[in-house]
Structure 1
């Protein structure tokens, strides 16, 4: 997939805009306000350092056929409720969320502004020991026995390209949750695709 095609998207309120190096806008990322997130119960911590890797997760939820924006937003709210009300966290644990329909969304408040700036990171709660070292992205669905749909895959590649650019992260530093934790996440099938993900991101970055 060519860089121009991969990064093409619509720019609007709460969406990422192109940096001067981009010939086209990047795929939009919806901010917390777009999907009507609850306020965090405490102010998320922001560190003036760059994360050094990306961690890929899956939500281990139903592989729904509903790929609408409305469903993506509802799912993001469900994750936030689970993380705040059941886990006792201050906000969504992951920095970003990717739906089966390819809708990219900010997870933890402040993550989108930090990504735009490229010089800071919000401390997340997606993987002990990696919450300030790695950007965590949750991919909606369960990928133990099936591969992710094309819409999700393409948006994941686009997200990783932009994140690698903003934070100067080498594509070789894209890992799965299980690389740093005793877990099945991000599922056997998605985990097996991580070498391809690194290759596609590297190819787009040139």
Structure 2
């Protein structure tokens, strides 16, 4: 059943509302951003803009990109552990994508960018590993990745630009992350409770204490944004 088939609004638990009020204050958002109007706007949102590899100037992969004949079972959120820059332009997002790809290929020896998608601090989303965007559009298969040991064949990896051990992500970046996760959930039929942090699977501080603490709220906001009910 799709959200538009429901006769009335979906009730939001009090603790969820409280978390959203606190998060809204931390991110500088007004109360309507987390209220019924914000939920209604989110529910009607279109597919988020995602810049493909050709648009940001990616290098060709160093080897064949493997497409797996199965959809992902979850989403893993990371942070890049790079400086929290104030350049929110798309040009910076593209430069970041190129820098990440170079580091992953030239230093780590991977065939391409490790993750499937990256969300810049300015809220611009770029494709990571080649063919990730095309397979997301198809909604049936995923690209083998290199973002999380044990999850590279079963989960979509998202890098969130910045270091979130003591700072929260900017409001625009968080909103872009919600939109991306909701779109992935809709395309692949993933329940939002399958959104995890890197540290859930590997011995790492990623995605940082503050971003990791936001994951329950992220799951709630993705649920509100999805076309289907969970």
TM-score, length-normalised on structure 2? 0.80
CA offset digits 1:36-79 (Å, max 9, x no partner): 00000011100110100000000000000000000000010000
- Change over 3 Å in CA distance of 1:204–1:24 after alignment to 2: closer
Q: Distance in 2 between matches of 1:102 and 1:59?
A: 14
SS in 2 for 1:33: helix
Quote the residue 1:148 is aligned against: 169
| Aligned residue among 188, 192, 206 for 2:209 | 188
Quote the residue 1:204 is aligned against: 225
Q: Distance in 2 between matches of 1:44 and 1:165?
A: 24
Q: Which runs of 5+ in 1 are unaligned?
A: 8-22
SS in 2 for 1:57: strand
| Aligned residue among 80, 88, 103 for 1:67 | 88
Q: Distance in 1 between matches of 2:174 and 2:220?
A: 13
Deviation at 1:104, TM superposition (A): 0.5
Q: Does 1:117 align with 2:153?
A: no
4+ long deviations beyond 3 Å: 1-7
Q: Distance in 2 between matches of 1:24 and 1:58?
A: 25
SS in 1 for 2:199: helix
Quote the residue 2:51 is aligned against: 30
Residue pair 2:42, 2:224 contacting (<8 A) in 1 also: no
Q: Does 1:179 align with 2:215?
A: no
Aligned CA-pair RMSD: 1.3
Q: Which runs of 5+ in 2 are unaligned?
A: 1-33
More helix by share: 2
TM-score, length-normalised on structure 1? 0.90
Quote the residue 1:51 is aligned against: 72
| Aligned residue among 66, 75, 82 for 2:103 | 82
Quote the residue 2:189 is aligned against: 168
Quote the residue 2:41 is aligned against: 5
